[in-house]
Amino acid sequence: MSLNKRLGRGLESLIPIGGSDSAGQSDINARFREIDITDIMPNIKQPRKDFDKDALEALVSSVRDKGVLQPIVVVKTSESKYMLISGERRWRAAGFAGLKTLPALITEPLADTDNLELALIENTQRDDLKPLELARAYRELMDSCDYRQEDVARIAGKSRPAVANTLRLLDLPTDVSDALEQKLISEGHARVFLSIPKNYCHKLLNDVLSRNLSVRQTELLAKRIQDEANGRGASVAKNSETQGSASLDADILAIVREMEQFFDSKVSFKTRGKNRERGVIEIRYDSQDDLDRIVNKVRGEV
């Protein structure tokens, strides 16, 4: 089997699967051994930078009680040293639990670029990587292994648009990506920031955090910001039957913005009369739940 085909299949391509074949079972036994924890080093290309403290403590407790049930996967780098391909959390937990050795499956030596590719493939197939960790893993695969988005999609079991959308998270402004890393906002929130100019992102982030906005509420606010950036924000004059004074337009626009923030919905004014002393205020809603929320706001029940 060619190297590229083996790598494309992931970890199982380098781990022999035993059955009734005694030769296959012998191969497994030859590759499986207990390795001193101090002889194992982490993979420097590991995209996971943050290990959840509570989850790691729970794993440490489990390892103390039952040991390490699933072998880690390593590649030999010298006579007595190994590099992790899969199982860094188990390796860390075993160290905290006081274990001296770990069960490991040793893959056949590969070129440095192939080790990198295999480690990255293993990480892109995980379900619990953070969005930005996954995006960085995708990018590293593309940059280091000359992969296209289609190749990454095949390896990760995703669609190409899903890979492209994940990669776009790397374009987020620093403060937004930091908020995503710290789980202050969700991936859904983060995607909204990609739809507006970067110079508006800081203010939107402050609004999201200070007002605890949902993804849907963030989308509505981002739409208003985008309209404003495109010169459509001052819709008051367009909706007015008479132009009036510039100062009055500014006053009404300020009221519109204040009401939009209060109701978290699109608000428009339509004025009539010579001095614009009459008019209509429209508050937009997009669903029955949205209407109920606005009515409760008017009643002071929210």
CA distances from 10 to 15, 124, 231 (A): 10, 10, 50
- Identify the DSSP state of 182: T
User: In the annotation, is 88 catalytic?
Assistant: yes
Handedness of CA 223, 228, 230, 234 (dihedral sign): positive
SS3 102: strand
CA distances from 113 to 4, 151, 187 (A): 12, 16, 31
- Identify the DSSP state of 247: H
* Crossing angle of the two packed helices 160-168 and 149-156, in degrees rounded to 10: 110
Q: Which of 12, 57, 79, 88 is catalytic?
A: 88
Contact present, 51 and 90 (Cβ < 8 Å): no
The DSSP-derived string for 19-71 is SS-HHHHHHHHHHEEEEEGGGEE--TT-------HHHHHHHHHHHHHH---S-
- Identify the DSSP state of 212: T
* List of residues 6+ apart from 31 with CB closer than 8 A: 15, 16, 105, 106, 107
Q: What are phi and psi of 32, to 5 degrees?
A: -95, 130
Radius of gyration of the chain (CA): 28
Nearest to 195 by CA among 231, 220, 178, 214: 220
- The catalytic residue positions are 88
